[in-house]
Amino acid sequence: MKRFDEEFAVLLDGINGIQASMAANLLKDVGIPTLQHGPDFDMAEFGSAAHAMLRGTSLLVPHEALARAKKELDDAGWGVALDADGEDSDPSEGSSGI
């Protein structure tokens, strides 16, 4: 069995759970599977709503779907500002941010 990082690439990093769910649903609608991955800690102390806001998560897509997923989010107005390797994209592309 492969490790998830061998099959999936990071599309968005450090986003909250609501943003991750919105992006995942948008990508699901166009046939791109996603996986959310984030730091694990005890939710009982804060509850699930606070947990989602306090801890960032990563949205992953299969490597072969990464470019298409970025384009889909860009076309939807997300302005994906980071490449999979964490480098800033060209600011002259008119990225509006999330």
What pTM was estimated for this model as a whole? 0.66
The CATH code for residues 4-81 is 3.30.70.790
Q: Which residues contact 49 (CB under 8 A, 6 or more apart)?
A: none
Each residue's pLDDT, cut to its tens digit, for the chain (98 residues) gives: 566 567 899 999 888 878 888 999 999 999 999 998 876 655 555 665 665 566 678 899 999 999 999 999 999 988 754 444 444 444 444 444 44
Q: Determine the Cα–Cα distance for residues 14 and 55; give it in Å rounded to an integer.
A: 8
